[in-house]
Amino acid sequence: MTIVVIGGSGLIGSKLVANLRQRGHEVLAASPASGVNTITGEGLAEALAGAQVVVDVANSPSFEDKEVLEFFETAGRNLLAAEAAAGVKHHVALSVVGTDRLAESGYFRGKIAQEKLIREGSIPYTIVHSTQFFEFLGGIAQSGSDGQTVKLSPAFVQPIASDDVAAAMTEYTLGAPVNGVVEIAGPERVRMPELLQRYLAATKDPRQVVADPQARYFGARLEDDTLVPSGKNPWLGSIGFEAWFAKSAASK
């Protein structure tokens, strides 16, 4: 199969490209660094010529409310139009578990817009909803930090290692379109403050984590189960926090 991975240079994209090539597929890793830009349209038609499947694992360079929304709307429109012109048979996108429950957050309004374009478009699709990546725990700590303490909602999380995300994305990319959402998550469900305290202790970060039911997650209020899979059969990765941390750059 000929597969184009938009965002092929990113955390998930680079691992997905390697997995797909190892399985013998023709894969183009596309991103602005390699001359393919879904915002300006540069290189898009050429990249998609002859592709059967397109996977979108790009992310907005800015997390400002207005810019995220503009990124996902513009990229989504340009990409889906180019796919229709090229006769692409399957569009696979990576999004976040709970996206539809997180509209109070500017970032998630961008993801909601991205998903809406896919659902309303003409290309058969699979939207993969993933929980937070372990690689993103530092970002979560930063989001709730005032320097000394980290205030976080006590909601449950079930984070997943990027290697597991890439493994799941490989299977969904090579499978048939589901024309709906599939969910993926890590092996352990835990309250966010407890996991973040473990992460800070492991990275020898002296900040203390405080559970605060009023604390927002990137602008959104959370219920206990907002960030964990709501379906009965999520794909579960096998790499837990300790196994991930032992091999991660954060432990160095």
Ligand X SMILES: NC(=O)c1ccc[n+]([C@@H]2O[C@H](COP(=O)([O-])OP(=O)(O)OC[C@H]3O[C@@H](n4cnc5c(N)ncnc54)[C@H](OP(=O)(O)O)[C@@H]3O)[C@@H](O)[C@H]2O)c1
Residues that bind ligand X (CB under 6 A): 6-7, 9-13, 31-33, 37-39, 57-59, 61, 75, 94, 96, 111, 130, 132-133, 136
Phi and psi torsions of 144, nearest 5°? -105, 10
CB of 184 to ligand X, least distance (A): 9
Cβ contact 156:227 at 8 Å: yes
Cβ contact 140:152 at 8 Å: yes
Nearest to 102 by CA among 1, 220, 13: 220
CB of 140 to ligand X, least distance (A): 8
CB of 95 to ligand X, least distance (A): 6
* Rounded Cα–Cα distance for residues 133 and 205 (Å): 19
* Rounded Cα–Cα distance for residues 205 and 54 (Å): 40
CB of 235 to ligand X, least distance (A): 13
Output 54 or 123, the one with its CB closest to ligand X. 54
Cβ contact 128:93 at 8 Å: yes
Distance in angstroms between the alpha carbons of the first and the last residue of the chain:
38
Output 31 or 197, the one with its CB closest to ligand X. 31
- Nearest residue by C-beta to ligand X? 10
CB of 11 to ligand X, least distance (A): 4
Output 132 or 226, the one with its CB closest to ligand X. 132
Output 9 or 143, the one with its CB closest to ligand X. 9
3-state secondary structure of 98: coil
CB of 206 to ligand X, least distance (A): 24
Output 4 or 215, the one with its CB closest to ligand X. 4
Output 24 or 67, the one with its CB closest to ligand X. 67
3-state secondary structure of 191: strand
* Rounded Cα–Cα distance for residues 51 and 242 (Å): 39
